[in-house]
Amino acid sequence: MSVAGVEVVRKPAGPPVVPTGTVDEKGRPVTIACATCHATKPANPDARVGRPLVMFHQGLGGQHGNLSCASCHNPADGYASLRLADGKGVPYTDVMTLCAQCHGPQYRDYQHGAHGGMTGHWDLTKGGRARNNCVDCHAPHAPKYPTVFPAFGPNDRFQTGGGHE
């Protein structure tokens, strides 16, 4: 799929959703968008990664500095987007802008090819190349343990959004 002269950075397909565990009449999983609940529910600015929630998202564990959920999730639109420190919203597909805000050195290393790996051609005159997204390797809620995979499986959810745009 690589085209000479082109570097593509894989991106998440879009905002995450919550699975309901049920399927519709065509067998497709039924999911709920974040804003369905959070557009009306007042945001709790004290919720932090590593401090378990009790009313919902009970399984959501992790460890990421001492970050509050609102360091990344945008309460202004019912968590339909991410947010930067200045309050500006960022679509989930541009999650790397958010990571880069706090991890400048790693982001610069990434841009120089020293962090994050790639597949395809180093020399772009010979062919294109694809770069992994930060979140292909680091789960945002538990980034310490890289979920590094040498090749991407056919069902990888990031495959549709990245690499072919």
Quote the least distance from Cβ 27 to ligand HEC, whole Å. 21
| 138 near ligand HEC (CB under 6 A) | yes
Q: What is the spatial distance between Cα 135 and Cα 15, in angstroms, rounded to a whole number?
A: 13
**Count, residues near ligand HEC per rule CB under 6 A:** 54
Q: 116 near 137, Cβ under 8 Å?
A: yes
| 95 near ligand HEC (CB under 6 A) | yes
Considering only 110, 129, 162, 163, the residue that binds ligand HEC (CB under 6 A) is 110
Nearer to ligand HEC, 124 or 142 (CB): 142
Q: Comparing C-alpha atoms, which of 22, 35, 4, 24 is closest to residue 125?
A: 4
Nearer to ligand HEC, 106 or 159 (CB): 106
Give the binding site for ligand HEC (CB under 6 A): 12, 16-18, 32, 34, 36-38, 43-44, 47-49, 53-57, 60, 64-65, 67, 69, 71-73, 79, 92, 95-96, 98-99, 101-103, 106-107, 110, 115-117, 132, 134-138, 140-141, 143-144, 146, 148
